[in-house]
Structure 1
Amino acid sequence: MNQRIVHHPVLGSWTAGKPVSFRFNGTAYTAYEGETIAAALLANGVRTLRVHEEKGTPRGIYCNIGHCYECRVHVNGVPTVRACMTLVQEGMDVSAGTVLPTPLKKGGHVG
């Protein structure tokens, strides 16, 4: 499923670079050189990039400029990589974050 924008009224036409293969959560996808992980996943129909660490609710791209950290993924075993700021590379293994154990809370508010 290719959902790439190939012509934009302001940015003009897109020319695909060399195809590269990568995996997200064990599924193989195709991206193109120069694409970020986030752009490649969106173009392939993937909207959920991770889940909230405590609640398990889905998270995806929010700002797409590196400020919000909602697109954090694991890349080749390295956690907390921003998908919107990281270019796809051949053979890259990307996975979503998982639900983490909630810290013990005493008396309600922690902090």
Structure 2
Amino acid sequence: MALLKRLAEGDRPAVTFTLDGQPASGLLGDTLLTAVLTSSEHLRGSDFSAQPRAGFCLMGACQDCWVRLGDGRRVRACSTLLEPGQHITREPGRSV
């Protein structure tokens, strides 16, 4: 189940992407954070406990929303725009 539910702006074109190898979709103009959280229940695992995280500051300052793209780049989900066909892999976090 998705963590966020979209209440407005549903008239933008749909953009498909893959999330951890599974098909997902967002809307044109979404950040990766918005696209992931409207498709899933969490953004990534905590670096300290592997518990689910959903981002923190939402403006690119806190280091809590890193995801990996298909080309290997690690980017902040809150400040990176979704592009058609992107492959996004969530960081699983670490168990202590």
Pairwise same-fold verdict (TM > 0.5): yes
For residue 20 of structure 1, the aligned residue among 11, 15, 19 is 15
Q: Deviations over 1:44-82 (max 9, x none)?
A: 2x2321112343222212111111121111111434311
Following the alignment from structure 1 to structure 2, what is the Cα–Cα distance between the partners of residues 98 and 15? 30
Distance 1:42 1:54, change over 3 A: closer
| Residue number in structure 2 paired with 1:91 | 85
Q: Quick check: 1:41 aligned with 2:47?
A: no
Amino acid at match of 2:88: V
Q: Deviations over 1:3-28 (max 9, x none)?
A: 2121xxxxxxx253221100111221
Following the alignment from structure 1 to structure 2, what is the Cα–Cα distance between the partners of residues 56 and 79? 21
Gap regions ≥5 residues in structure 1: 7-13, 103-111
For residue 3 of structure 1, the aligned residue among 2, 5, 9 is 5
RMSD: 2.4
Same amino acid, percent of matched pairs: 26
**Alignment check: 8 A CA contact 2:43 2:65 kept:** yes
For residue 68 of structure 1, the aligned residue among 62, 70, 94 is 62
Paired residue total: 94
SS at match of 1:78: coil
